[in-house]
Chain A
């Protein structure tokens, strides 16, 4: 049966990598929102050529498992970057690029394709009368965007953002394939050192479960706060 001493020991062992896992997830999450917004705007304003590229990219990501995309990035990103550094005559050797950077690029790109949909839908959900009202008050388009549309769109997007964060959190558990150490990878390392596999994986699972619970509670709190304000 389960060895509780090991369980407790593993708990504190794995807890040490929780901050860096969460930090990695937050970085990827923010990047994915930025890239997703750009993609949504490109599609919304029908930017020529770019909108077709975005569409193709979305189709590709919808069909490709994340781990395959991570491997493609792992093996091709240094080459791609060195092509550009050679072109610009920069003194940077991308072949010792950190796997963390590769993981950040791969996961942000994947999640951003889904974020773009969320962001587009939440912008579209803002009533057109709101934009007309702002215009009639003499707001510039930029002011309308920042002061009228974004706060309302945010309320709409918040629950989706919560689950997107959890998707990122779970996605980076695949980083162990390219030697990035997060909660899962640490559990694996601990397990292979003391060969208590069950205990390590159960602790890791509980850790993810707790984080998911925390994030869900937090987003629903934020949501009710924002709903009251708008």
Chain B
């Protein structure tokens, strides 16, 4: 292959961008759901399961994401085989999504739990005294106050997730980084720097778009933020 120019490199990379994008979106959505579930278990103090959530969030935050990716890819199939479930032909993309979901969920648990605890106890009591059902209480009173507190942390977690999608090529997924490695290897040392700067530009754009999106949400939900009692009274 001839040494392609920067524009050609960009087109080649953008051709596989959808793979990175799918992995990112799917694991972001599933990770948020998992994080919410783990947080619910944690704040409801469900025995055994609660300890499980603590272990998961500690593990996902202590161990490099690259090891988590490898563990899911290599360890899950033999582990599942013990229970008679055959996932030995799990694709690298699926393994990547699973690992990133677990990582994102474990990370988000801390964010969501702190945000949930930040809601004043009086808000729970007020809703209870008005005879709200637990469902109504959660969706009309608690959740709107949790969201603005959790958003900055969620934004950070999202940026981590975007960056970590750049590692799934280590499992053999042909995403942006995978393609970049191929181009860099095929160009005999001519334009490796160019290739990775092109990758950096793509990631920078995605990061700033998601950052802008989170900021927009923050603006929209600011009205749900209750000032603390002291602050409202100017103390």
Q: Which of A81-89, A143-151, A194-202, A221-229 contacts the other chain? A: A194-202
A205 within 8 A of B: yes
Among A63, A171, A204, the residue within 8 A (CB) of B67 is A204
Q: Is B199 a contact partner of A68 (Cβ separation < 8 A)?
A: yes
Most buried by A among B58, B62, B167, B197: B62
How close is B189's CB to chain A, nearest CB, in angstroms? 8
How close is A73's CB to chain B, nearest CB, in angstroms? 9
Most buried by B among A65, A187, A188, A211: A65
Q: Is B63 a contact partner of A67 (Cβ separation < 8 A)?
A: no
Q: Is A201 a contact partner of B163 (Cβ separation < 8 A)?
A: no
Q: Is A197 a contact partner of B203 (Cβ separation < 8 A)?
A: no
CA distance A170 to B167 in the complex (A): 13
Least CB separation from A70: chain B residue: B196
Docked complex: A43-67 residues within 8 A CB-CB of B: 59-60, 62-67
B74 within 8 A of A: yes
Docked complex: B63-98 residues within 8 A CB-CB of A: 63-68, 70-71, 74-75, 78-79, 82
Q: Is A174 a contact partner of B66 (Cβ separation < 8 A)?
A: yes
Q: Is B192 a contact partner of A71 (Cβ separation < 8 A)?
A: yes
A92 within 8 A of B: no
27 example contacts (A-B, Cβ-Cβ < 8 A) are as follows: A60-B200, A62-B159, A63-B207, A63-B208, A65-B162, A65-B165, A65-B166, A67-B166, A68-B177, A68-B203, A71-B196, A75-B184, A170-B65, A173-B67, A174-B66, A177-B170, A184-B66, A188-B70, A197-B70, A201-B71, A201-B74, A205-B67, A205-B71, A208-B64, A209-B59, A209-B62, A213-B62
CA distance A62 to B166 in the complex (A): 14
B207 proximity list for chain A (CB < 8 A):
62-63
Q: Is B74 a contact partner of A68 (Cβ separation < 8 A)?
A: no
A212 proximity list for chain B (CB < 8 A):
58, 61-63
How close is B217's CB to chain A, nearest CB, in angstroms? 19
A209 proximity list for chain B (CB < 8 A):
58-59, 62-63
How close is B95's CB to chain A, nearest CB, in angstroms? 13
B165 proximity list for chain A (CB < 8 A):
65
B59 proximity list for chain A (CB < 8 A):
205, 209
CA distance A23 to B144 in the complex (A): 46
- Measuring CB to CB, which residues of chain B are less than 8 angstroms from any residue of chain A? 58-59, 61-68, 70-71, 74-75, 78-79, 82, 159, 162-167, 170, 177, 180, 184, 192-193, 196-197, 199-200, 203-208
B74 proximity list for chain A (CB < 8 A):
197-198, 201
Among A63, A72, A205, the residue within 8 A (CB) of B197 is A72
A170 proximity list for chain B (CB < 8 A):
63-65
Among A1, A63, A76, the residue within 8 A (CB) of B193 is A76
Q: Is B71 a contact partner of A202 (Cβ separation < 8 A)?
A: yes
Q: Is B67 a contact partner of A184 (Cβ separation < 8 A)?
A: yes
Least CB separation from A199: chain B residue: B75
B177 proximity list for chain A (CB < 8 A):
67-68
B204 proximity list for chain A (CB < 8 A):
59-60, 63-64
Q: Is A173 a contact partner of B64 (Cβ separation < 8 A)?
A: yes
CA distance A136 to B66 in the complex (A): 54
A197 proximity list for chain B (CB < 8 A):
70, 74-75
Q: Lowest 7 A-B CB distances belong to which pairs?
A: A63-B204, A212-B62, A65-B166, A173-B64, A65-B163, A63-B207, A75-B192
